[in-house]
Amino acid sequence: MADIATFLAGFERFREKYFAGDDSVYSRLRQGQSPRALVISCCDSRADPGMLMGAGPGDIFVVRNVANLVPPYRNGAEMPGIRADIEFAVKSLNVEHIIILGHSGCGGIRALMDGEGITENHYEFIGTWVIIAKAARERVLRELAGEPDAVQARACGQWAISLSLDNLLSFPWIRERVEAGTMALHGWYFDIDAGELLGFSPETLTFAPLVAKPTVAT
Protein backbone atom coordinates (compact mmCIF):
# COMPACT_ATOMS: atom_id res chain seq x y z
CA MET A 1 0.00 0.00 0.00
CA ALA A 2 1.25 3.49 -0.85
CA ASP A 3 2.59 5.57 2.02
CA ILE A 4 -0.04 8.13 3.01
CA ALA A 5 2.58 10.07 5.03
CA THR A 6 3.78 11.62 1.75
CA PHE A 7 0.49 13.49 1.47
CA LEU A 8 0.64 14.69 5.10
CA ALA A 9 4.15 16.01 4.52
CA GLY A 10 2.73 17.78 1.48
CA PHE A 11 0.12 19.46 3.66
CA GLU A 12 2.86 20.67 5.99
CA ARG A 13 4.60 22.38 3.08
CA PHE A 14 1.28 23.82 1.88
CA ARG A 15 0.56 25.27 5.33
CA GLU A 16 4.02 26.81 5.58
CA LYS A 17 3.60 28.43 2.19
CA TYR A 18 0.07 29.77 2.45
CA PHE A 19 -0.66 30.24 6.18
CA ALA A 20 2.57 31.69 7.53
CA GLY A 21 2.49 35.28 8.79
CA ASP A 22 -0.24 37.91 9.24
CA ASP A 23 -0.37 38.70 5.51
CA SER A 24 -0.58 35.07 4.37
CA VAL A 25 -2.63 34.05 1.34
CA TYR A 26 -5.27 32.54 3.61
CA SER A 27 -5.57 35.63 5.79
CA ARG A 28 -7.23 37.13 2.69
CA LEU A 29 -9.01 33.98 1.49
CA ARG A 30 -10.57 33.49 4.91
CA GLN A 31 -12.93 36.34 4.00
CA GLY A 32 -14.24 34.51 0.94
CA GLN A 33 -13.39 33.41 -2.59
CA SER A 34 -13.62 35.19 -5.93
CA PRO A 35 -12.02 32.83 -8.46
CA ARG A 36 -11.60 34.17 -11.98
CA ALA A 37 -12.54 31.02 -13.81
CA LEU A 38 -14.51 27.82 -13.59
CA VAL A 39 -12.43 24.92 -14.90
CA ILE A 40 -14.12 21.67 -15.86
CA SER A 41 -11.41 19.05 -16.18
CA CYS A 42 -10.88 15.31 -16.16
CA CYS A 43 -10.08 13.42 -12.96
CA ASP A 44 -6.85 12.15 -14.54
CA SER A 45 -3.92 12.49 -12.12
CA ARG A 46 -1.68 13.76 -14.93
CA ALA A 47 -3.88 16.70 -15.86
CA ASP A 48 -4.41 18.70 -12.68
CA PRO A 49 -5.65 22.14 -13.77
CA GLY A 50 -4.18 24.00 -10.79
CA MET A 51 -0.73 22.59 -11.45
CA LEU A 52 -1.04 23.08 -15.22
CA MET A 53 -1.99 26.74 -14.92
CA GLY A 54 0.21 27.63 -11.98
CA ALA A 55 -2.91 28.60 -10.04
CA GLY A 56 -2.77 29.26 -6.33
CA PRO A 57 -5.50 28.90 -3.70
CA GLY A 58 -8.57 30.94 -4.63
CA ASP A 59 -7.63 31.38 -8.30
CA ILE A 60 -9.80 28.78 -10.03
CA PHE A 61 -13.06 26.98 -9.19
CA VAL A 62 -12.56 23.40 -10.35
CA VAL A 63 -15.04 20.68 -11.21
CA ARG A 64 -13.54 17.36 -12.24
CA ASN A 65 -15.26 14.37 -13.77
CA VAL A 66 -14.40 11.44 -16.02
CA ALA A 67 -13.58 12.85 -19.49
CA ASN A 68 -14.43 16.47 -18.49
CA LEU A 69 -17.97 16.31 -19.86
CA VAL A 70 -20.82 18.80 -19.55
CA PRO A 71 -24.32 17.41 -20.04
CA PRO A 72 -26.93 19.62 -21.71
CA TYR A 73 -29.09 21.89 -19.56
CA ARG A 74 -32.08 20.10 -18.11
CA ASN A 75 -34.29 22.07 -15.79
CA GLY A 76 -35.43 20.04 -12.77
CA ALA A 77 -32.92 17.25 -13.37
CA GLU A 78 -33.45 14.60 -10.68
CA MET A 79 -29.73 14.39 -9.90
CA PRO A 80 -28.26 17.67 -11.11
CA GLY A 81 -24.63 16.63 -10.52
CA ILE A 82 -22.28 18.94 -12.35
CA ARG A 83 -25.16 21.26 -13.26
CA ALA A 84 -25.22 22.36 -9.59
CA ASP A 85 -21.46 23.01 -9.63
CA ILE A 86 -21.77 25.13 -12.75
CA GLU A 87 -24.75 27.02 -11.32
CA PHE A 88 -22.83 27.93 -8.17
CA ALA A 89 -19.77 29.10 -10.11
CA VAL A 90 -21.85 31.22 -12.49
CA LYS A 91 -24.64 32.62 -10.31
CA SER A 92 -22.88 32.93 -6.98
CA LEU A 93 -19.21 33.41 -7.85
CA ASN A 94 -19.80 35.27 -11.13
CA VAL A 95 -16.84 33.65 -12.88
CA GLU A 96 -15.92 35.40 -16.11
CA HIS A 97 -14.38 32.41 -17.84
CA ILE A 98 -15.35 28.76 -18.15
CA ILE A 99 -12.54 26.51 -19.35
CA ILE A 100 -13.17 22.91 -20.37
CA LEU A 101 -9.84 21.13 -20.06
CA GLY A 102 -9.40 17.76 -21.74
CA HIS A 103 -6.24 15.77 -22.33
CA SER A 104 -4.69 13.11 -24.51
CA GLY A 105 -4.66 9.51 -23.34
CA CYS A 106 -7.99 9.94 -21.53
CA GLY A 107 -9.41 6.69 -20.12
CA GLY A 108 -12.96 8.07 -20.19
CA ILE A 109 -12.70 8.91 -23.88
CA ARG A 110 -11.19 5.49 -24.50
CA ALA A 111 -14.20 3.89 -22.77
CA LEU A 112 -16.52 5.99 -24.93
CA MET A 113 -14.72 4.95 -28.13
CA ASP A 114 -14.80 1.31 -26.98
CA GLY A 115 -18.59 1.61 -26.89
CA GLU A 116 -18.98 1.61 -23.11
CA GLY A 117 -22.65 2.21 -22.37
CA ILE A 118 -23.54 1.63 -26.02
CA THR A 119 -22.31 -1.83 -27.03
CA GLU A 120 -20.14 -2.66 -23.98
CA ASN A 121 -20.90 -2.66 -20.25
CA HIS A 122 -17.71 -3.41 -18.33
CA TYR A 123 -18.45 -0.76 -15.73
CA GLU A 124 -21.48 0.05 -13.59
CA PHE A 125 -21.54 3.82 -14.09
CA ILE A 126 -18.93 4.95 -16.60
CA GLY A 127 -20.95 4.04 -19.67
CA THR A 128 -24.00 5.99 -18.53
CA TRP A 129 -21.74 8.98 -17.94
CA VAL A 130 -19.57 9.01 -21.07
CA ILE A 131 -22.47 8.57 -23.50
CA ILE A 132 -23.10 12.27 -22.85
CA ALA A 133 -20.51 12.64 -25.64
CA LYS A 134 -21.76 9.87 -27.89
CA ALA A 135 -22.22 12.39 -30.73
CA ALA A 136 -18.41 12.86 -30.71
CA ARG A 137 -17.94 9.08 -31.01
CA GLU A 138 -20.47 8.85 -33.82
CA ARG A 139 -18.65 11.61 -35.71
CA VAL A 140 -15.33 9.76 -35.33
CA LEU A 141 -16.86 6.52 -36.62
CA ARG A 142 -18.35 8.45 -39.54
CA GLU A 143 -15.38 10.65 -40.49
CA LEU A 144 -12.34 8.72 -39.27
CA ALA A 145 -13.34 5.11 -39.87
CA GLY A 146 -10.26 2.94 -40.33
CA GLU A 147 -7.87 5.44 -38.71
CA PRO A 148 -5.59 4.19 -35.88
CA ASP A 149 -7.11 4.09 -32.38
CA ALA A 150 -4.86 6.93 -31.21
CA VAL A 151 -6.06 9.23 -34.01
CA GLN A 152 -9.68 8.37 -33.28
CA ALA A 153 -9.27 8.88 -29.52
CA ARG A 154 -7.60 12.26 -30.01
CA ALA A 155 -10.38 13.46 -32.33
CA CYS A 156 -13.06 12.08 -30.01
CA GLY A 157 -11.51 13.89 -27.01
CA GLN A 158 -11.35 17.18 -28.88
CA TRP A 159 -14.83 16.87 -30.39
CA ALA A 160 -16.22 15.98 -26.95
CA ILE A 161 -14.80 19.30 -25.70
CA SER A 162 -16.55 21.28 -28.46
CA LEU A 163 -19.75 19.33 -27.72
CA SER A 164 -19.47 20.29 -24.04
CA LEU A 165 -18.97 23.94 -25.06
CA ASP A 166 -22.23 23.72 -27.04
CA ASN A 167 -23.91 22.12 -24.02
CA LEU A 168 -22.72 24.99 -21.80
CA LEU A 169 -24.55 27.38 -24.13
CA SER A 170 -27.77 25.41 -23.56
CA PHE A 171 -27.78 26.79 -19.98
CA PRO A 172 -29.85 30.00 -20.39
CA TRP A 173 -27.93 31.98 -17.76
CA ILE A 174 -24.61 31.10 -19.41
CA ARG A 175 -25.84 31.99 -22.90
CA GLU A 176 -27.11 35.36 -21.57
CA ARG A 177 -23.70 36.18 -20.10
CA VAL A 178 -21.77 35.06 -23.18
CA GLU A 179 -24.04 37.09 -25.48
CA ALA A 180 -23.67 40.13 -23.18
CA GLY A 181 -19.88 39.78 -23.34
CA THR A 182 -19.47 39.28 -19.59
CA MET A 183 -18.39 35.65 -19.86
CA ALA A 184 -16.12 33.75 -22.25
CA LEU A 185 -15.99 30.00 -22.88
CA HIS A 186 -12.75 28.15 -23.69
CA GLY A 187 -12.00 24.61 -24.85
CA TRP A 188 -8.47 23.46 -23.99
CA TYR A 189 -6.70 20.18 -24.68
CA PHE A 190 -3.55 19.16 -22.82
CA ASP A 191 -1.40 17.02 -25.10
CA ILE A 192 0.49 14.83 -22.64
CA ASP A 193 2.74 13.37 -25.33
CA ALA A 194 3.88 16.67 -26.81
CA GLY A 195 3.69 18.82 -23.65
CA GLU A 196 1.41 21.26 -25.48
CA LEU A 197 -1.72 23.12 -24.47
CA LEU A 198 -4.11 23.45 -27.41
CA GLY A 199 -7.12 25.75 -27.64
CA PHE A 200 -10.35 25.37 -29.61
CA SER A 201 -11.06 28.04 -32.19
CA PRO A 202 -14.79 28.59 -32.83
CA GLU A 203 -13.85 30.14 -36.19
CA THR A 204 -11.81 27.25 -37.60
CA LEU A 205 -13.40 24.56 -35.36
CA THR A 206 -9.89 23.18 -34.77
CA PHE A 207 -7.43 23.01 -31.88
CA ALA A 208 -4.09 24.84 -32.09
CA PRO A 209 -1.24 25.50 -29.59
CA LEU A 210 -2.02 28.36 -27.17
CA VAL A 211 1.52 28.76 -25.92
CA ALA A 212 4.60 28.82 -28.12
CA LYS A 213 7.28 26.27 -27.28
CA PRO A 214 10.43 27.80 -25.85
CA THR A 215 13.18 28.20 -28.41
CA VAL A 216 16.24 26.15 -27.58
CA ALA A 217 19.34 28.29 -27.09
CA THR A 218 22.27 27.26 -29.26
Q: Which residues bind Zn ion (CB under 5 A)?
A: 42, 44, 106, 108
Q: How far is the CB of 126 from Zn ion (least distance, A)?
A: 11
Rg (CA), the chain: 19
**Residue 163 or 183 with smaller CB distance to Zn ion:** 163
Closest CB 136 distance from Zn ion, rounded Å = 14
Helix (H, G, I), strand (E, B) or coil at 10: helix
Whose Cβ is closer to Zn ion: residue 104's or residue 177's? 104
Count helices and strands in the chain by DSSP H and E runs: 9, 6
- Indicate the Cα dihedral angle 193, 197, 201, 207, nearest 10°: -10
Element (H, E) at 60: strand 60-64
CB nearer to Zn ion: pick between 41 and 167: 41
- Determine how many CB atoms are found less than 10 A away from the CB of residue 46: 13
In the complex with Zn ion, the residue whose CB is nearer, 95 or 161, is: 161
Q: What is the nearest approach in angstroms of Zn ion to the Cβ of residue 42? A: 3
Taken in order 202, 72, 181, 67, is the CA torsion positive or negative?
negative
Least separation in angstroms between residue 104's CB and Zn ion is 9
Q: Which is nearer to Zn ion, 44 or 116 (CB)?
A: 44
Question: Least distance (Å) from Zn ion to the CB of residue 67?
Answer: 5
